[in-house]
Structure 1
């Protein structure tokens, strides 16, 4: 059994990554099964954020690309192509910041108003659907990153729902770099990203934190209002993994670089979850870090009464020719998205976990058995 200190002393430079990973798996196979958060292939001695490694020329090119994308926006899969200097396109942009307490000192969370999806069950719908917030320039947003770093002492800058404002986000990261930002950047996304958007973020983002929500076109169309969500998510997540690889930690247990995929277990959607887990194992990496989330609850439009239709209610004729309208139980209880109008069960959550394990996934965002910090 490895001790935590033994893990930290692993001679990383003496073995290439692939042989080291193969050897580690062989050793683990002989050990009693347990949950590992730190393993030699995923342990970093130290870490410098990727944006700090950009040359001045590379940073200048990033800025130029960001401004160019704003003039003809193609940075989400809807590809509206509008001039963002003159109009908002499909969605507005504004920033809303809220430090949230996570891990040791917390993750510096920055919420962006609006979203390029319209999830019927969105648990942040007051921000994403109603677009509450206020407008900031990229430079003003960068100043908030610095405040979170210097005053809040957070572990990272966590950008939440940034897909539709990727150019502004890229410019804010580059501005914060010049202001002295030294924290890793977390890109917290629905995975409904275009490859152009992810190319712009390459070298700026350290940790990609995408959701993979549903698999089928029917579920995507009905619940997310996007016909091609799963196809986009598959392509996006593969690109994210290409950029940053599997999730890696420093010796204190804090994630610094890599991919962490989240899946929100939803009522009656176990089959979709099984497809998602199979894709991650077969087409991304069996070492991908997965967060199987059980906190689904009906929100946003789920469970709201259906809009009344202008139709004549059914009538019956009583003896003597007296007619009256009939109101059935189903009509009084008819609500929107009734199939997901309940919490998930323990059996559904455990079923998704077992499906993930069956396809070979093994790195899960379980509560750590050490003092480390999990995103």
Structure 2
């Protein structure tokens, strides 16, 4: 199955510049993410994400650690954006998301990075932590498309996304890969420091599924379009795994591609939070898998890693 990236059609329709203008207008009194800080990022003001008018890139390259349909044999072309609209106390990439290691780039340079990843043979362009820089991404993608970009675009987010921004990404993103971190918003407030996570997250995932549907792959098993959901199992059932999986089974699709992740360990500030200050056990992970199976979610990516407590 060969599927042309959706942004190629947007480019051909002549709507591209209008979409960029609409996206950048949201930076004037920023409501790019559900925190809706209201600062004028175009004038250099910075809200919770500490990002101004330009996106900050921490690193980029072919990543062989992603899910099999993304990494294939040549790697997923990941671009790690600095900063984040979540403030997870257990973040394993806190140097990027919280400390903000990275440098500012113009959309033209971001577009050039995408083209370099395509030239390196990567299967897709994987935008990691993109939520707070959607306008800059839209501008860069359309510049890159004019210069010949033809890879599927992966929107790899923490799942705390604005419906307004997702509407602007409709017809641009091929593959959505959100986290569904929690089944309880009070737990989310405590550990990720944002309000209404569950409400916002579920609305976003519904919209992502509406736009792209279940994950589709080509003849070689490489993802071309669709939804892929990640859920990190936390110790002591703090992630609300059963609630998350029941929502996916009942309201999204039993054919959803789900990565049940077992790699939690107490990073960043997690050692200060009772309940989060240990890895998960093998039993906790297997219980999560069993729940998914019972709910009919059989399209699981469940690569187990070393280090689980017995």
Q: 1:271 Cα deviation (Å)?
A: 7.2
Deviations 1:270-301 (A, max 9, x none): 67100000000111111111000000011010
Structure 1 unaligned regions, length at least 5 = 1-44, 304-335, 368-375
Q: Which residue of the partner structure matches residue 223 of structure 1?
A: 191
User: Any residues of structure 2 matched to 1:15-54 within 5 Å, and which?
Assistant: 45-54=1-10
Q: Which residue of the partner structure matches residue 57 of structure 1?
A: 14
**Contact 2:178 2:228 (8 Å CA) reproduced:** yes
User: Any residues of structure 2 matched to 1:293-312 within 5 Å, and which?
Assistant: 293-303=261-271
Q: 1:96 Cα deviation (Å)?
A: 2.2
1:71 matches 2:28: yes
Q: 1:80 Cα deviation (Å)?
A: 1.5
Counterpart of 1:94 (choices 50, 56, 61) is 56
After TM superposition, the runs of 4+ consecutive aligned structure 1 residues lying more than 6 A away are none
User: Any residues of structure 2 matched to 1:214-293 within 5 Å, and which?
Assistant: 214-269=182-237, 272-293=240-261
Q: What's the TM-score, normalizing by structure 2? A: 0.91
1:80 matches 2:16: no
Structure 2 unaligned regions, length at least 5 = 65-70, 304-310
Q: 1:366 Cα deviation (Å)?
A: 4.3
SS of match in other structure, 1:253: coil
Distance (Å, rounded) in 1 between the aligned partners of 2:72 and 2:14: 36
User: Any residues of structure 2 matched to 1:113-152 within 5 Å, and which?
Assistant: 113-150=82-119, 152=120
In terms of Rg, which structure is larger?
A: 1
Q: 1:68 Cα deviation (Å)?
A: 1.4
Q: Which residue of the partner structure matches residue 7 of structure 1?
A: none
Count of residue pairs brought into register by the alignment: 290
**Contact 1:270 1:351 (8 Å CA) reproduced:** no
Q: 1:340 Cα deviation (Å)?
A: 1.1
User: Any residues of structure 2 matched to 1:183-194 within 5 Å, and which?
Assistant: 183-194=151-162
Q: Which residue of the partner structure matches residue 358 of structure 1?
A: 294
Q: Which moved more, 1:48-57 or 1:159-168?
A: 48-57
RMSD: 1.3
Q: Which residue of the partner structure matches residue 279 of structure 2?
A: 343
Deviations 1:7-35 (A, max 9, x none): xxxxxxxxxxxxxxxxxxxxxxxxxxxxx
Q: Which moved more, 1:99-108 or 1:164-173?
A: 99-108
Deviations 1:141-185 (A, max 9, x none): 0000001111x2100000000101111011111111111101000
Counterpart of 1:171 (choices 113, 121, 139) is 139
Distance 1:271 1:128, change over 3 A: closer
Q: 1:89 Cα deviation (Å)?
A: 2.6
Distance (Å, rounded) in 2 between the aligned partners of 1:274 and 1:196: 29
**Contact 1:214 1:230 (8 Å CA) reproduced:** yes
Q: 1:115 Cα deviation (Å)?
A: 0.5
**Contact 2:23 2:165 (8 Å CA) reproduced:** no
